[in-house]
Amino acid sequence: MTSRPQNPALAALLTLCAAGFIAATTLIAKALGTGVLGPPLHALQISQGRFLFALMALSGAALVLRPRFTRPALLLHLGRSSLGWGGASFMFAAAAFIPLSDATAISFLNPVFAMLLAVPLLGEKVGPWRWTAAAVALCGALILTRPGGGALEFGALLALGSALCLGAELILIKRLSGREGMMQILLLNNVIGLCIATLAALAVWQTPTPAQWAALAGLGALMASGQACFVNAMARADASFVAPFFYAALAFAALYDLAIFGVVPDAVSLIGGAVILCGAGLLAWREGRLRT
């Protein structure tokens, strides 16, 4: 069994890096699905491209690093990859129907689902401080959904489906990260995910433009980087500790919108983002106090 020393501070930093990478993939998926770079691509085809180019990037890294492989837990990998494909596909589809901030906020309810599942499935103890921090972060996400603004439509339901899939995937990532190496987990995830995504995309396939091919390649590379950071984070701290830090992707998405598209966050976005960061900060402060 592969095991890494517990390091909550490093786990938090890795999760923040993963959040930045994953937020960028969602923006690229939005551009691909709304016709910015050519005829709009279906979410299933975007998901297939994500797995294809992520696998290419990881395979290149594996050739250089030459990691040691062990006997894999294939059923866990199959479940994790299926949930990951579903979560990514739902999220890419949601981003084409509703504003990116709304889709991201709703899908980022997944840490709450993960924390709830971590208790019976991983045997983790979630004390009052973790519950409080998660609740604060959840309130920030709810603020960003703009209650009463029509968020509960088809796109929002897709984002909720993404949250459910990704929350369950977090549990399987934690199970795998305690027994297998990071590169093995990532390679198998993307091999299995590519097979599933390719079969699903056959019915909606259309030839991408050169710009879309480049965007799909960038999406895959960013997703691979985000996965590497997140799997390493999950191996170094409890899932219930790591998960809330992923809310930072909301702040990254707002920054990318501002820098690239000139979209200035409104008051609701700023308040919601601040509340989410307060929840993550409270969790980090409490964990640090417990280890001093």
- Range with the lowest mean pLDDT among 66-75, 105-114, 149-158? 149-158
Q: What percent of the chain has pLDDT over 70?
A: 89
Average pLDDT over residues 218-245: 82
User: Would the pLDDT of 231 be above 50?
Assistant: yes
Contact at 8 Å (CB) between 43 and 96? Answer: yes
pLDDT category of residue 147 using cuts at 50, 70 and 90: low
pLDDT tens-digit readout, 176-198: 877 888 788 889 999 999 999 99
Q: Can you read off the two tokens belonging to residue 23?
A: 């937020």
Cα–Cα distance measured from residue 131 to residue 47, given in angstroms and rounded to the nearest whole number: 33
Distances (CA, A) of 202 to 29, 43, 163: 18, 12, 25
Q: Is 125 exposed, middle or buried (0-12, 13-18, 19+ CB in 10 A)?
A: exposed
Going by C-alpha positions, the residue among 80, 100, 87 that lies closest to residue 23 is: 100
Domain span at 140: 8-290
Q: Can you read off the two tokens belonging to residue 225?
A: 């980087």
Going by C-alpha positions, the residue among 35, 84, 37, 58 that lies closest to residue 195 is: 84
Domain count for the chain? 1
Identify the pLDDT of residue 252.
85
In a domain, 56, yes or no: yes
In a domain, 106, yes or no: yes
Identify the pLDDT of residue 150.
52
Q: Where are the alpha helices (DSSP H) in the chain?
A: 8-33, 43-65, 74-97, 100-107, 110-122, 128-144, 154-177, 182-201, 210-234, 239-242, 249-256, 267-290
Task: Tell me what the pLDDT averaged over the chain comes to.
Answer: 82
DSSP-based three-state secondary structure for 269: helix
In a domain, 3, yes or no: no
Most confidently modeled range among 177-181, 210-214, 271-275: 210-214
Average pLDDT over residues 206-214: 94
Q: Is 13 exposed, middle or buried (0-12, 13-18, 19+ CB in 10 A)?
A: middle
Most confidently modeled range among 28-37, 61-70, 139-148, 202-211: 202-211
Average pLDDT over residues 136-160: 71
pLDDT category of residue 260 using cuts at 50, 70 and 90: confident
User: Would the pLDDT of 291 be above 60?
Assistant: no
Long-range contacts at 249-252 (CB < 8 A, ≥ 24 apart): 249/19, 249/20, 249/22, 249/23, 249/26, 249/104, 249/108, 250/23, 250/101, 250/104, 250/105, 250/108, 250/140, 250/141, 250/144, 250/276, 251/276, 251/277, 252/19, 252/20, 252/23, 252/24
Cα–Cα distance measured from residue 139 to residue 187, given in angstroms and rounded to the nearest whole number: 36
Average pLDDT over residues 228-246: 79
In a domain, 71, yes or no: yes
Cα-flanking dihedrals φ and ψ of residue 209, to 5°? -75, 165
In a domain, 2, yes or no: no
Contact at 8 Å (CB) between 158 and 90? Answer: yes
Identify the pLDDT of residue 207.
92
Average pLDDT over residues 86-112: 78
Average pLDDT over residues 227-236: 82
In a domain, 41, yes or no: yes
Cα–Cα distance measured from residue 220 to residue 53, given in angstroms and rounded to the nearest whole number: 4
Count Cβ neighbours within 10 Å for each residue of 194-204 and write b for 16 or more, e otherwise. Answer: bebbbebbeee
In a domain, 76, yes or no: yes
Cα–Cα distance measured from residue 175 to residue 76, given in angstroms and rounded to the nearest whole number: 8
Q: Can you read off the two tokens belonging to residue 230?
A: 């997140």
Average pLDDT over residues 257-263: 75
Average pLDDT over residues 154-166: 83
Distances (CA, A) of 79 to 38, 115, 205: 34, 18, 25
User: Would the pLDDT of 77 be above 90?
Assistant: yes
Identify the pLDDT of residue 47.
93
Identify the pLDDT of residue 151.
43
DSSP-based three-state secondary structure for 266: coil
Q: What percent of the chain has pLDDT over 90?
A: 24
In a domain, 1, yes or no: no
